Amino acid sequence: MNLKERIAKVPRKGWIAAGIWCTLYIAFVIWLAWDDAKSLGWLVLLPLIADVFTTKYINWSWWKKYKPAAKGEPENPHAKPGLYTLCSWIDAIVFALVAVYFINLYMFQNYQIPSSSLEKSLRVGDFLFVSKMSYGARVPNTPLSMPLMQHTWPEWLGGGKSYIDKPHWDYKRLRGWAKPEKGDIVVFNFPAGDTVCLKMQNPDYYTLCHYYGKQAVTHRKDVFGDIVVRPVDRRENYVKRCVGEPGDSLKVINNIVFTRSGETAGWQEEPTREGVQLNYIVRTDGHLLTKSYLDKIGISHDDQHQIEPGLYHFPLTEAMKAELAKNPHVTGIDVEPETAGGAVYPLGQTDWTRDNYGPIYIPRKGDKLLITVDNYPIYRRIAEAYEFKSMRIGEEYEFAMDYYWMQGDNRHNSADSRYWGFVPEDHIVGRPVFIWLSIEKDKPWFKGHIRWNRLGKGASN
């Protein structure tokens, strides 16, 4: 059968399906090529997409000839039931994986809150719908990867990398609706996750080297494990709140964040959100604060730490602190000492602390900064690890990307920019939109295991 005859036999539903899929593909290519006309070359695949639903000039479903005859139909001499069933499963699985791959890569992905760094804004056990189109989806650095696996196969499948290093594509972000702004909750790849000790991934490699020495970390594989290097899109996903934009200066004074835009602008205190928590030392007259009482106030089981009789350690919001202060048995509530926070970025180079930090300038693309002995430790990592350029003291350095400052709302229980520095724009993954499921692991199934009041709640503020 020639092409003309095939076209004549295409049913109306085939043309409708082809029209829908071709329109979607053209829209995707236009989005891909918005800032890069070379990507229009992907339109060369358009005839193949149309052929799948219309002429079927390419025999896409060759395996269907092995389908056994149904009851009442003439016997199929080519029937091979086993081969037909196997190919049917492969066809369905491949289609599902390809669909999931593109949806997860360019549109949205699921993200589960693993730690308490954003309590009480986002809770451990919240499952988020993360939009990648909000800030513009990234073209993958490592396009050959297994969908839904960030960097490693599950142990029951042997572990090891779930992606192939080559081909490796340079950073490119498609057109989005906005850029991260102060106050946004943002999902991003962990900047210090480029180098990882497989047996001890928390704290990060650079913090381990600071405390134990690089030689010990490198040679003690029995303690730290093998050291691997990961591309940007295969680093762990983190979620924090953006508190500083490109071009801002930022400082933290007694746990309060201040920012300013420009050299002559005044410092502005960032609003303290309802969910912001700090760690406190709580004293009682010896009375026991029961788990049920602390649970009622909102202190999770994992955060209910009793140091000794009459002495407790809790993360509290202002509302929780006020509620606890009403207890007649509570004799004191003092904020945790800032020395408990450990070393901050740049490690070992300043006298800054977790609670009193900066001031620090957050680079903007195209900015030129004179590198001095004082600021070299702050910006060296940008040149070496993110932009792969040289930086010398006494010379101007021009930044190639925008950078952001991210902090957790649970200020004393958050590994954030205060510990590992700036978040480059090429690490930005997306913006959480809403919570589609929320689970309280400390409660039974029919007594609060699912937090029904959080389902459908917005997750970006």
Q: What distance in Å separates the CA atoms of residue 182 and residue 245, rounded to the nearest whole number? A: 6
Instruction: Spell 415-439 as b/e; 16+ CB within 10 A means b.
Output: bbbbbbbbbbbbbbbbbbeebebbb
pLDDT in tens, 340-391: 999 999 998 999 999 999 999 999 999 999 999 999 999 999 999 999 999 9
The answer to whether 270 and 412 are in contact (CB under 8 A) is no
Q: Which two tokens stand for residue 293?
A: 């009482």
pLDDT at site 168: 94
pLDDT in tens, 22-71: 999 999 999 988 888 888 999 999 999 999 899 888 888 888 888 888 77
289 DSSP assignment = -
**Orientation angle between helical segments 46-53 and 12-32, nearest 10 degrees:** 160
pLDDT in tens, 78-102: 888 888 889 899 989 988 888 888 8
Q: Which residues pair with 305 in a beta bridge?
A: 313
Question: Residue 247 pLDDT > 80, yes or no?
Answer: yes
pLDDT in tens, 96-147: 888 888 888 899 988 888 877 877 788 888 899 999 999 999 999 999 998 8
**Which DSSP string do the residues of 198-248 spell out, in sequence order?**
TT--SS-HHHHHHHH-HHHHHH-HHHH--EEE--GGGSPEEEEEEEE-TTE
Q: What is the pTM of this model?
A: 0.89
109 DSSP assignment = E
What is the pLDDT of the chain when averaged over all its residues?
A: 91
pLDDT at site 418: 97
